[in-house]
Amino acid sequence: MPELNDVAALCEAILAVAGEPVSLDALHAAVGEDVSAEFLAEALEAVRLRHEHDGSGLLLERTGGGYRLATRPELDAGIRSFLGVRASARLSQAALETLAIIAYRQPVTLPEINFLRGVNSTAVMRTLLDKKLVRVAGRKQVVGTPLVYRTTKEFLIHFGIDQLSELPTPEELGEPSGDGASGP
DSSP assigned state of 73 = G
Q: Using alpha carbons only, give the angle 139, 169, 20 rounded to the nearest 5 degrees.
A: 65
- pTM for the structure as a whole: 0.72
- Domains of the chain: which residue ranges? 4-83, 93-173
| pLDDT at site 41 | 94
> In the beta sheet, which residues pair with residue 61?
68
pLDDT surpassing 70 at residue 149: yes
Average pLDDT over residues 152-162: 90
The confidence band for 88, taking pLDDT boundaries of 50, 70 and 90, is low
The confidence band for 136, taking pLDDT boundaries of 50, 70 and 90, is very high
Average pLDDT over residues 88-105: 90
Q: Which fold has domain 93-173?
A: Arc Repressor Mutant, subunit A (1.10.10)
For 139, 140, 141, the CA distances from 144, given in Å and listed in that order, are 9, 9, 8
For 105, 152, 154, the CA distances from 72, given in Å and listed in that order, are 32, 24, 19
**CATH 3.40.50.720 given to domain 4-83:** no
How far is Cα 139 from Cα 153, in angstroms, rounded to an integer? 20
User: 92-123 burial, b for 16+ CB within 10 Å, e for fewer?
Assistant: eeebebbbbbbbbbbbbbbebbbebbeeebee
User: 148-167 burial, b for 16+ CB within 10 Å, e for fewer?
Assistant: bbbbbbebbbbeebbeeeeb
Average pLDDT over residues 124-149: 94
DSSP assigned state of 20 = S
CATH topology match: 4-83 vs 93-173:
yes
Average pLDDT over residues 60-73: 91
The confidence band for 73, taking pLDDT boundaries of 50, 70 and 90, is confident
- C-beta separation of 10 from 31 below 8 A: yes
pLDDT surpassing 70 at residue 5: yes
97-123 pLDDT, tens digit each: 999 999 999 999 999 999 999 999 999
Average pLDDT over residues 55-70: 91
